[in-house]
Amino acid sequence: MSNTTSRSAPVSQKERVTSLDLIRGIAILGILPMNALTWGFSDFAGYNNVRAVGTEQPFDWVIGIASKLFVEQKMMALFSLLFGVGVVIFWERAGSKTAHPNWLSLWRFALLFVIGTIHAAIWIGDVLTAYAISAPIVLLVHRRSPKILMAVGVGLVIVGSLSAALVQIGVNNGSFPIGEYWVPGGTPMLESDLLTWFYADAILRSLGLMLIGVSLYQLGIVQGTRPREFYKKMALRGLGVGLPLTCIGVAIHVVDRWSERTALTGHIPLGLGTIPMALGYLGVIVLWKNDASKLQQRLQAAGRMAMTNYLSQTALGLLTLSVLAEQFDLTRTMIFVWILLIWALQIWWSPWWLQRFRFGPAEWLWRCGTYRSRQPFRRSTK
């Protein structure tokens, strides 16, 4: 066997930590309900402001408020936690196969930045570029103690959340027109003065959550190796703290009738509730985990193809929802039905694909670029 083949050999099923695949699978499906709003409503107002568009019937309001409470930022937080873990796992495995795991990792991040840049050119909501920018920092500090990583990670998320207060002052005094962030048909985000804050907040949250993920990995928490009682407490405490904070954020909007005056003020408790909610979800998922479950096996497959599923969600959203939005006034209920269909498709197609191929298409291309050689793709039929 050649040295190149040896160092780039696919991870065997025995080496996989299936709890990570399950969490990642739930997270990648969980980010779709929020991202879909930007495609179905053609701007970010529908994402941030439930009252702005698509709430014609009571069930539209139920979906909108439930998304704010249980999905917005929380599922992306889970995804970011797992990406931080993935940075470390790749580095550890690369270290046993090559003398230069740092350079190989940095090259891999550079390729991710290229992928993210292409994706961002198609859709402004891309997160891969933020991950690619944050990943080298994670690699630099990942051997620090779990306490330090946790403290810095939490601090970065808090700073990103509290920065919304300063931006809100600028909105209220007219320095920062809020545009399509809150008002349908407003100034596009790409032309908005809010864009710098939007990206800075995304990078701070991504980096902070990735560091938290590394801390949880070092402590053996995210792998699901702690006693069940530990995860029960984690779930109860996380949801017990995070859900009230999130409720406060939604209540600010409801009481002020989704006014621009508190558009970003409500973002603060929503952001602060992200970490405990994500940890609570993590605890629930680990408690629920059962490798014999057919549904969980499908979700694990979706997690193993996370990048493919993430990019295909964008492609399907732009090809279907964005086109439909030009013809019809979509409601949140209509978009929710579309989400259910995409979930069903990805839960079906992920295991079907992985029974025939070793990686998802995007993962395979990224892997080929990382090792600069054609990687094994099809599974043996023998």
**What is the arithmetic mean of pLDDT over 148-154?**
98
Residue 13 pLDDT greater than 60, yes or no: no
Mean pLDDT of 147-153: 98
pTM exceeds 0.75 for this model: yes
| Per-residue pLDDT at 381 exceeds 80 | no
pLDDT at position 134 is: 97
Q: pLDDT tens digits, residue range 44-77?
A: 899 999 999 999 999 999 999 999 999 999 999 9
pLDDT of 1 above 50 = no
Question: Tokens standing for 111?
Answer: 């390729």
Q: In percent, how much of the chain has pLDDT > 90?
A: 84
pLDDT of residue 66: 97
If 0-12 CB within 10 Å is exposed, 13-18 middle and 19+ buried, where does residue 369 land? middle
Q: Would you say residue 164 has pLDDT above 80?
A: yes
Structure confidence at residue 3 as a pLDDT band (50, 70, 90): very low
Residue 366 DSSP SS3: helix
**Alpha carbons 35 and 206: distance in angstroms, whole number:** 16
Q: How confident is the model at residue 234 (pLDDT cuts 50, 70, 90)?
A: very high
Tell me the per-residue pLDDT of 285-327, one tens digit each, with 9 for 90 and over: 999 998 789 999 999 999 999 999 999 999 999 999 999 998 9
DSSP 261: G
Are 334 and 40 contacting, i.e. CB atoms less than 8 angstroms apart?
A: yes
Give the pLDDT band of residue 10 (cuts 50, 70, 90): low
Q: How many CA atoms within 13 Å lie on the side-chain side of 367? A: 23
Q: Which segments of 185-316 are extended strands (E)?
A: none
Write down the pLDDT at residue 227.
95
When pLDDT is cut at 50, 70 and 90, the band that residue 330 belongs to is: very high
When the pLDDT of each residue in the chain is averaged and rounded to a whole number, the result is 92
**DSSP per-residue string spanning 114-125:** HHHHHHHHH-TT
